[in-house]
Amino acid sequence: MTAGERVRSTRRILGVGAIMQSVAWGVAVTLAILALFSFATLVKPDFASNSAWQLPAAIVAGVMVLGCFLWRSRHVGSVSRVALWIEERIPDLHYALVTAVESDSTRDPKGVERAVAAKSFAHVIQRALVRSVGPAAGAVAFAALLLYVSPSMAFGVGGVFGRGGRDGGGATPPAGSRLESLEARVSPPAYSRERSTVVSDPSSLSGLVGSRITIRGKGSADGVTGLVATSPLRVSSLNGGWSTSLVMPAKPSALTFKDREFERIIVLQPRVDNPPRIVLTSPARDSTLRVARLVLRMDATATDDIGLGAGYFEYLITTGSGEIFSARTVTTPVVDFNAARRGSIAATLDLGTLKLNQGDIVSIRAIAQDVNTLSGPGLATSDTRTYRIARADEYDSVSVDAAGPLPIDSSAMSQRMLIQMTEKLVREQKGLTRQQLVKRSTDIGDLEDRIRKRVHEILYEQDGGAEAEEPQPGAPPDNIDTHDHSDEPVPAHNNDLLQAYNALWEAVRSLQIAEPAPALPPMRVALKALDRARLANRLYLRGIPPRVIVDLARVRMTGKEKGLANTRTPISSADSTRMRLERGFSNAIELIAARPADAIRALTFLQVEALSSSPGFASAVGEAVEAFRKGRDATFPLLRARRALSGDPSSAPGLPSWSGGW
């Protein structure tokens, strides 16, 4: 074999080694990235349900690494470069190999061939292959082992690369089931602007409430049934397989499929579209103004988990006081957030343009809506800022919070209302028929008579229940048949209330005979008398002493003890959600060894129940169920589920103190 042939043979061996090295490093990087994604599910469980993009991303990274190594080894294709590479590792050749390769420039080709033939290249080639291919092969083995032990539901031993190595363990459904190799597509509502996701062989599905879920399987649709909670699903044939669709419910549910004796349960984890939040940052506080001359700068910030729709400011202007007031609402132009998750609105309000008077109140708040067109839109309101225009009589006075009206106060306020109603009736009397006049006047008279009776009750109760005296002069006559004269006579110890009582009698008499005009003077007299009684000196009691229900002094030591008593049954503590989950979890653990299929079913329904009350426990149980289905070890997920319910184990430093005897 000539020197040139030996160099070409070496080039082929080194080329094969370079290709093996590049492919091995590419595969190692791909497996390592998949293992990284798998371990990331421990921190973010959503990686397991959204793994469609992870495998292509890892393959692209591996191909890029493979290309880099091939580019580094591109000089293997040159015979001169290979000859120089051998000369570097065998210095005793003294460039005889390079000279032999370039035989046209040498004068003694036979002597050069003899010099090259005396040296062996085998040890150099072997050492180069070990140094290049050996680490790459070790990296592939380590990455494959790391991926095998990864906890992910998408890749590890039970995922994409572990399906071919199933050994048909006790938790794996037997062959022949049409509930294997399912594919689920989750299409969020259009308003969310989120992309659809495809999940292969899912154990749980997560998505917005209202998302469209499509499940596809292989085989005929005959005999395959679906059930969500208690609602059956329609399963139809599609493209040589079976398919069904449903809408993501508002509460966590279990999607159950049955095929003869086979059963498959998929947990549905709905994600609620929360209403937006809005914060009014300016103005920062309420205020009272002497004059309505202020320009307000209003700013608010809104946020939402999906997208904001619109926002605006609203201010309510309240005018008047007492029983007569009016209100009007003004809104600023609507700001469109264009489905952004965060936005702000700003506006300017000049109080001088609102024509405010003394005592008027302006209440300001910010309002935001989201883009939820399915069950919304969700509405959010901020805290309210209030600006009040002070009255002239508020200055240089003592500010006292008003208490609730006493019975006399409420009578006075009702009397003002009846006077206004009577004045209105007198103004409209000419345009009314006799029947209408009698009806309206009689109705006002009945209300006036209620006040008269209430004043009588106050007078009688203040008298302490003693026998009443004869009515004073000025009391109503006894020949009015339209009133109840069974009331007790009115005592005369409160002249203001007595004057109001007599004036009310006169007003009631005039109103009952449809003469509203003569009733106004006594009604005004009664109002003034009630005001004087309301402003009179009083003794305010802090409270009313309770009535004695049992006279203890009389009944003490009078009971008889027979000495016969039944054994009391202890009351069991109320069951809680956590206790129920712990009991169900313990029962499911006991079924693992004997009936693994029943254990998986029990754990799946526990996951559905715990999604709302204990998300951490539900996540750990979901990983345990997936591990059982894929034939992996579920010890660590079960431990995390137990600690999520019972908490971490506690330990005390040292031995406890001795509490026994000597």
Q: Give 114-138 pLDDT, tens digit per residue.
A: 666 666 667 777 787 788 888 888 8
Residue bearing tokens 């046209």 = 104
Angle at 456 between CA 451 and CA 457, to 5 degrees: 95
Nearest to 129, CA basis, from 93, 89, 92, 84: 89
Contacts of 220 (CB under 8 A, 6+ apart): 178, 237, 242
- Cα 516 from Cα 379, distance rounded (Å): 51
**pLDDT band (50, 70, 90) for residue 508:** very high
- Of the two residues 123 and 640, the one the predictor is more confident about is 640
| Mean pLDDT over the full length of the chain | 77
Least confident interval from 97-106, 342-351, 415-424, 574-583: 97-106
Best-predicted range by mean pLDDT (238-242, 408-412, 646-650):
238-242
- CA proximity to 576, closest of 618, 614, 624, 619: 614
Largest CA distance in the chain: 160
Closest-CA residue to 445 (of 521, 509, 503, 502): 509
pLDDT at 167: 41
Question: Do 613 and 584 contact (CB within 8 A), yes or no?
Answer: no
Cα(first)–Cα(last) distance of the chain, in Å? 99
Per 3-state DSSP, the chain is made up of helix, strand and coil in percentages (nearest 5) of: 45, 20, 35
For residues 282 and 109, the model is more confident at: 282
Q: Which of 132, 99, 112 shows the shortest CA–CA distance to 25?
A: 132
At 569, the pLDDT band (50, 70, 90 cuts) reads low
More confident residue, 481 or 27: 27
**Distance between CA atoms of 121 and 97, rounded to whole angstroms?**
11
Q: What confidence score (pLDDT) does residue 279 get?
A: 93
Confidence of residue 281 (pLDDT cuts 50, 70, 90): very high
Q: What pLDDT score was predicted for residue 642? A: 86
Kindly tell me if the per-residue pLDDT of 278 is higher than 90. Answer: yes
| 107, pLDDT greater than 60 | no
Q: What's the pLDDT at 240?
A: 76
Residue 134 is predicted with a pLDDT of 83
The neighbour count for residue 497, using CB atoms within 10 Å, is 24
> What sign has the CA pseudo-torsion 470, 472, 473, 478?
negative
Is the pLDDT at 485 greater than 60, yes or no? no
Which pLDDT score, from 0 to 100, does residue 108 have? 52
Cα(621)–Cα(640) distance, rounded to whole angstroms? 8
- Res. 280: pLDDT tops 90: yes
Residues 364-381: tens digit of each pLDDT:
999 999 998 888 788 899
Report whether pLDDT(449) > 80: yes
Q: How many residues does the chain have?
A: 662
Identify whether the C-beta of residue 168 lies closer than 8 Å to the C-beta of residue 60: no
